[in-house]
Amino acid sequence: MFAYRQTMIYGAIQLAADHSLGFIFTAVVICLVAGWLVGALMHRTREASPVHQYRWLAGTAIVAGLGVWTTHFIAMLGYRPDMLLGFAGDTTTFSALVAVLIVGLPLALTPLFKSRRVRTTIGAVAGLGIGGMHYTGMAAVEGCVQTHSPLISGLAACIGACGLALACGLPPRLATNRAVCALFTLAVGGTHFVAIAGTTLQHVAGYVGGPHENITLSVFTAAAAGVLFLGAFLTILTAQRFDAQEQAHSAVLRTALDNMSNGLVYLDETDRVRLYNRRYLEIYGFPADTDLSGLNSDEIIELVGDRHDWTAERRQQARMRLNEWRGIESFTLIDYLMDDGRIMEVEIRPIAEGGTVITFDDVTKDRESQRRIAELAFCDPLTKLANRRALTARMERDFFPKQRFKLLLIDLDRFKQVNDTYGHATGDQLLVQVAGRLNEVAGPHGFVARLGGDEMAMLVYGDQEETMAVASQVIAALSAPFQIDQIRISIGCSIGVCCTDDARDAGELMQFSDIALYESKRQGRGRTSCYTPGMLETVAERVQLETDMRTAIERGEMHLAYQPVIALADDRIIGYEALIRWTHPTLGMVSPARFIPLAEETGQIVSIGAWVLQEACRQAVQLPGNLYVAVNVSPVQFRSPLLLSDLTQALAQSGLSARRLEIELTETAIVEDGPQIATMLAAIRRLGVTVAMDDFGTGYSSLAHLRDLPLDRIKVDRSFVATAETDRHSMAVLEGITHIARTMNVAIQAEGVETTSQLQLMREIGCDAIQGYLVGRPERLEPPKALIALSA
């Protein structure tokens, strides 16, 4: 032990004595600088992207190699100043190459390996390389004979191997520049000086080339080391500054990203997350510190799925959608409904270098307010039904490609009276209840709209039979009484239906349903009419007639024709029936059978009837005093409160005696509302005017009417006369009526007698009077004509 220590002390003293200390100092400083640079360069290699990694790696190899080499030669320049030594140029240069290849290169490669063991092993190889370089360098020494102690050479190699193995094997966290620098210096310096300690030189006598070559070598070495180290130093400094800048930039970017109101994720071309922000984490409910970097889209979906307990199917669906988004080739905006009901506007932006940036904007509130605005625009505020605009939109949507459906236009009957009687508030409540009943009939998938006022609509997607069934349900639903507060209200409705097959577009569908509705109302309400081709023309014609009728009287297009009534007792004319005639400027003669019903529908019959009364009375005055004039009074006119005053006015203005005026009423006019009719009839008769029942047998044919109502004459409809000869039933009716009339003391008159045999039959039955083409056609009133000879 003592001997070993003595040997060590002796060796150290000897080593110090063999060296010029200035050179040793310089060598160590250079080695430290090289070590520090190697540490910094290895760190760069570790951090750099694969593209830049090889530059840093090459730099490490050169700096490490030349660091070892320079340390060696500077130390060698100060070795054995007592001896004149030289260095062979080629071997010296070669040793530099050796240093780079067997020390620098393996050392530089180590940061590429993740495994510590591999790094340590490669580090050891590089460390052994120091020894290799040392002895190559020693081989360049001239002017002496060298002997090396194998044991000490081995020890030196071990020091190098251990030093670099340690330096390379350090975990990245401990691999600071300082640590690498220290271990590198230890390995290089240790190898060199221990190896030198085991080396003995013997001067070769007469060697003279040394000093000159030494100067060249020292200048060359110093310059090379200086330039190299300075370059490396500057490069590292620039890189560090660049790094700092980049870090500052990415901090700014991070702040900007994390303060964005939109969620953002950037998937690169390999489907991995390169960038995302805090808002993105929030949107998917991740904690703020979740690290998604480097995850691929499938892994993200798994994470989201785990957080939200998604089923495998839901995950698959999400995967498919994300793939779909990533496959989009141009900038696209999509509204995406999240599981929790939020609506995200997803912006997909493929980028040129590959990959996709996806941003998420929470537009739930915007969409909600847009929906509200749309609702306001398309909804009836009172009933919450769709409005006209919504109906049109829906019909237009479904019309092309032609979906078969039917439009039901529903018009409430008697709604105006409800409004007038109970006020608008009640009317509104009634509409709300109507809407409720319609919705019930339509069902959850039905479509009901309010077009305004008391007009509703419904769309039925079914065949004719289903549609009619729905229409009947609507009629039934709306005719059931409504209870509004204390008021019980009964209304009803009329329905017009048109099918898409009959119309070319939504506008026409609406128009045709409206025509059908008009038809329903015209036929007496509370019913359904379907549009049929031709209805439009009929309606148009009717509307035209209606319009023209308003001005027909004042333009003098109307006149009265008179048909004589003949008493069968003496075959004399006892009176005339006044029949209205209209000579239309373009249509020519228009039959009363055509325009009277129209006038009744529109109510124009009241004014027309008043004119007829006036005209008939005025002209009847010219007739002999024993003749009466019969005027037809329509049921509508009969119900009008104006009838009595019209009658009295006509009589008063003409001066015609009331007993010479007879009014003809049909059964329909007098069946409804018995007591009121009786009162009215009584009032008319009090004036002195007589009353005839027209067209008897065509209406209700109730003999009770004959008993209950005060009548002066019964006119049996001409259909009985026409068939009496051939039809036993007709004959029986005729005989029966005649019999009753006789017992009640009411005159009986047959209409439409066209043949002498009919005339004969009427005589036999016992009719009081007849009327018919056989005895006289309706004609303009002219001065009294000679009596027509009647064959007996």
Please give the residue ranges that form the binding site for ligand C2E (CB under 6 A): 563, 579-580, 591-593, 596, 609, 612, 632-634, 664, 694-695, 718, 751-754, 771-773, 778
Q: How far apart are CA 28 and CA 189, in angstroms?
A: 7
Question: Nearest distance from residue 698's CB to Ca ion, in Å?
Answer: 9
Question: Nearest distance from residue 695's CB to ligand C2E, in Å?
Answer: 5
Q: How far apart are CA 420 and CA 426, in angstroms?
A: 10
Amino acid at 95: S
Indicate the residue among 213 and 751 with the shorter CB distance to ligand C2E: 751
- Alpha carbon separation from 434 to 139, 167, 376, 524 (Å, rounded): 115, 91, 21, 21
Exactly one of 664, 677, 680, 724 binds Ca ion (CB under 5 A); which one? Answer: 664
Tokens of 440: 């019930």
The DSSP annotation for 359-395 comes to EEEE-HHHHHHHHHHHHHHHB-TTT--B-HHHHHHHH
Residue 749 binds which entry of Ca ion, ligand C2E, none, CB below 5-8 Å type-dependent: none
Contact 742, 710 (CB under 8 A): no
Indicate the residue among 470 and 590 with the shorter CB distance to ligand C2E: 590
Indicate the residue among 165 and 716 with the shorter CB distance to Ca ion: 716
| Candidate segments 163-171, 330-338, 662-670, 701-709, binder of Ca ion by CB under 5 A | 662-670
Indicate the residue among 458 and 612 with the shorter CB distance to ligand C2E: 612
Indicate the residue among 529 and 771 with the shorter CB distance to ligand C2E: 771
Exactly one of 695, 714, 748, 759 binds Ca ion (CB under 5 A); which one? Answer: 695
Q: Give the number of other Cβ atoms within 10 Å of residue 188's Cβ.
A: 35
The DSSP annotation for 591-659 comes to -HHHHHHHHHHHTTHHHHHHHHHHHHHHHHTTS-TT-EEEEE--HHHHHSTHHHHHHHHHHHHHT--GG
| Angle at CA of residue 692, ends 689 and 696, nearest 5° | 170
Q: How far apart are CA 50 and CA 435, in angstroms?
A: 72
- Alpha carbon separation from 523 to 494, 516, 548, 740 (Å, rounded): 10, 11, 22, 34
Residue 436 binds which entry of ligand C2E, Ca ion, none, CB below 5-8 Å type-dependent: none
Question: Nearest distance from residue 778's CB to ligand C2E, in Å?
Answer: 5
Question: Nearest distance from residue 717's CB to ligand C2E, in Å?
Answer: 7
Please, which residues have CB within 8 angstroms of residue 214's CB and are 6 or more apart in sequence? 77, 85, 86, 87
| Candidate segments 3-11, 231-239, 656-664, 772-780, binder of Ca ion by CB under 5 A | 656-664
Residue 194 binds which entry of ligand C2E, Ca ion, none, CB below 5-8 Å type-dependent: none
Residue 737 binds which entry of Ca ion, ligand C2E, none, CB below 5-8 Å type-dependent: none
Q: How far apart are CA 361 and CA 335, in angstroms?
A: 9
Indicate the residue among 79 and 720 with the shorter CB distance to Ca ion: 720
Q: Which residues of 253-271 are buried (b: 16+ CB within 10 A; e: fewer)?
A: eeeebeeeebbbbbbbeeb
Indicate the residue among 474 and 631 with the shorter CB distance to ligand C2E: 631
Tokens of 727: 């039809």
Question: Nearest distance from residue 457's CB to Ca ion, in Å?
Answer: 42
Exactly one of 95, 392, 513, 632 binds Ca ion (CB under 5 A); which one? Answer: 632
Total residues contacting Ca ion by CB under 5 A comes to 5
Helix, strand, coil shares of the chain, percent, nearest 5, are 60, 20, 25
Q: What is the dihedral of CA 650, 651, 653, 656, to 10 degrees?
A: 130
Indicate the residue among 654 and 771 with the shorter CB distance to ligand C2E: 771
Residue 773 binds which entry of ligand C2E, Ca ion, none, CB below 5-8 Å type-dependent: ligand C2E
Question: Nearest distance from residue 658's CB to Ca ion, in Å?
Answer: 19
Question: Nearest distance from residue 407's CB to ligand C2E, in Å?
Answer: 36
Question: Nearest distance from residue 512's CB to ligand C2E, in Å?
Answer: 31
Provide the mask over 736-755, with x wherever binding to Ca ion is found by CB under 5 A and - wherever it is not. Answer: ---------------x----
Residue 336 binds which entry of ligand C2E, Ca ion, none, CB below 5-8 Å type-dependent: none
Question: Nearest distance from residue 684's CB to Ca ion, in Å?
Answer: 16
Question: Nearest distance from residue 759's CB to ligand C2E, in Å?
Answer: 11
Residue 670 binds which entry of ligand C2E, Ca ion, none, CB below 5-8 Å type-dependent: none
Question: Nearest distance from residue 663's CB to ligand C2E, in Å?
Answer: 10
Residue 573 binds which entry of ligand C2E, Ca ion, none, CB below 5-8 Å type-dependent: none
Q: Does 235 bind Ca ion (CB under 5 A)?
A: no
Contact 104, 65 (CB under 8 A): yes
Q: Give the number of other Cβ atoms within 10 Å of residue 677's Cβ.
A: 19
Indicate the residue among 297 and 634 with the shorter CB distance to ligand C2E: 634
| Candidate segments 135-143, 315-323, 550-558, 690-698, binder of Ca ion by CB under 5 A | 690-698
Question: Nearest distance from residue 689's CB to ligand C2E, in Å?
Answer: 15
Orientation angle between helical segments 177-197 and 2-18, nearest 10 degrees: 100
Contact 346, 334 (CB under 8 A): yes
Cα separation of the two ends of the chain: 181
Which residues are at the interface with Ca ion (CB under 5 A)? 632, 664, 694-695, 751
